[in-house]
Amino acid sequence: MMRILTLLLVAAAAWGQSGTDAILKIIDPALPVIAVPDMRGSAEAQAHMNTFNEVLWKDLESSGWCKMASKSFYPSQAAQQPSDFKPPLGNPPQRQGPWFTDFSAPPIEAKYLTVGYTAPQNGRLVLYGWLFDVGQTTVESGQVFGKLYFGDISTDGARKIAHEFAADIIKHLGGTSLFGSKVYFTSNRSGAKEIWSMDFDGANQKQITREGFLSNFSAISADGTRMAYTSFPRGNASILMMSLETGRKLPFYNQRASTNASPEFTPDGQRLLFASTLAGVQQIYICNLDGSGIKRIGFSQAVDTEPKVNPKTGNEIIFTSGRSGPPQIYKMNMDGADVVRLTSGAGEAVNPAWHPQGQLIAFSWTGGPDPGSRNIFVMDVATRTLSQPLTSNMGRCENPSFSPDGRHIVFQSTRTGRTQIWSMLANGTGFRQLTTQGSNEEPVWSKY
């Protein structure tokens, strides 16, 4: 399991009908402190440096791999390139110019320091970027890496090189950047509810579907080439399929039923799970990508919906069912066997989502230490251990989805009044609002 997901059993509590459940707390390990002074640009590059500095800072701050040293303690004179560093001389040592101890000593006490500047070159924006370990004693031993980054001389170009520089820093710290990943979501900002996409940090929000009527609950294939979603072209809930490479509709045969909804791709991208009222009460089915070869895999007398396949094994399905009363999270094999309830039975538990490593799930629940409030929780499936609520005092929080690196969760919240998309670290810290226009919901985080 990734380092951020350190599982610590800290207490036990009796919740509803389930008896005693251990509370699972997800905590960060000790993280290195990094100082990130604002960089400057020459000539026309300077016009884009506010964007560059903001993106670099936010990428590192939200990564979960480091702690940011407060800029309020930074010295007024900072190095822009390695040759600017001047080691102290004399006995006692006297400062000659920018040096590592400006950042390694109290009150900053940083482990790492970013250094660099931008300049226009042959019509392109160039970043000269370095990362230094300020615990070292020489410039040569302190340089972790130095690299050139290229982009257009524009806001988008500045964002690109900032993301790429941050990605290399995060890689050195042991992580993988989310740069390049996308969040798909439902928004009403264009009038009807349609599917939109955005970058992991909320930038580049774009409308994907243009149905003119309700479209929601998108699912993205593991390779990022297809999107399935629920829509209402003839009044009934139907599943539509789209190529994300061409933007064109792909054939999908909907069974004659009042509801075909909640699509989910299998990890190999070859089949689709969905919920349908084909047999009367809504149950879970699996079919080929064009809707053929349909097979029922859920058999209950209550509504079953929201199937999600374990991305690591491809052999387990979690889903929401009302078979025991209020909706709860259940698990079963791909053939429908070995059905077990994962949640306690108290409150309402909905919107399950797998962690990429297939050991944890996130879901929305009205139970726990704050009954009635809808919060995001994380559960270890094998042990049934639960986290504390990750979203206390954030309004109604629903539809969690893990990031590709498993260290973040995106979800919808009414914290600001209207429903908006937020992200957070998987331990319930580092909240970040990603949308502001219209009402936005049902986020799904995709690697591509």
- Give the integer Cα–Cα distance in Å for 18 and 226: 40
Whether the model clears a pTM of 0.85, i.e. scores above it, the answer is: yes
Q: What angle do CA 270, 275, 276 make, to 5 degrees?
A: 115
- Give the integer Cα–Cα distance in Å for 293 and 271: 10
pLDDT at 26: 45
Convert the pLDDT of each residue in 35-76 to its tens digit: 999 999 999 999 999 999 999 999 999 999 999 999 999 999
Measured on CA atoms in the order 87, 90, 93, 95, is the torsion positive or negative?
negative
Residue 25 has pLDDT above 70, yes or no: no
Measured on CA atoms in the order 298, 299, 304, 310, is the torsion positive or negative?
negative
pLDDT at 12: 31
pLDDT at 52: 98
Nearest to 62 by CA among 41, 34, 88, 87: 34
Give me the mean pLDDT over the 104-130 stretch: 98
- Give the integer Cα–Cα distance in Å for 35 and 55: 15
Residue 270 DSSP SS3: coil
What are the DSSP calls for 159-183, one per residue? HHHHHHHHHHHHHHTT----TT-EE
> Residue 28: which pLDDT band, with cuts at 50, 70 and 90?
low
- Give the integer Cα–Cα distance in Å for 82 and 137: 13
- Give the integer Cα–Cα distance in Å for 315 and 297: 13
Residue 304 near residue 319, CB atoms below 8 Å: yes
Residue 403 has pLDDT above 80, yes or no: yes
For all residues of the chain together, what is the average pLDDT? Answer: 93
* Domains, in order of start, for the chain: 33-172 (3.40.50.10070), 180-446 (2.120.10.30)
Residue 6 has pLDDT above 50, yes or no: no
Q: DSSP assignment, residue 289?
A: T
> Residue 310: which pLDDT band, with cuts at 50, 70 and 90?
very high
Residue 17 has pLDDT above 80, yes or no: no
Residues 6+ apart with CB under 8 A from 323: 300, 301, 302, 304, 330
> Of all helices (H) and strands (E), which one includes residue 50?
helix 49-61
> Residue 30: which pLDDT band, with cuts at 50, 70 and 90?
confident
Convert the pLDDT of each residue in 176-223 to its tens digit: 999 999 999 999 999 999 999 999 999 999 999 999 999 999 999 999
- Count of CB atoms situated within 10 Å of the CB of 127: 25
pLDDT at 2: 39
Strand pairing partners for 112?
Answer: 34, 133
Better pLDDT: 24 or 236: 236
Convert the pLDDT of each residue in 347-378 to its tens digit: 999 999 999 999 999 999 999 888 889 999 99
Residue 27 near residue 8, CB atoms below 8 Å: yes
Percent of the chain with pLDDT over 90: 91
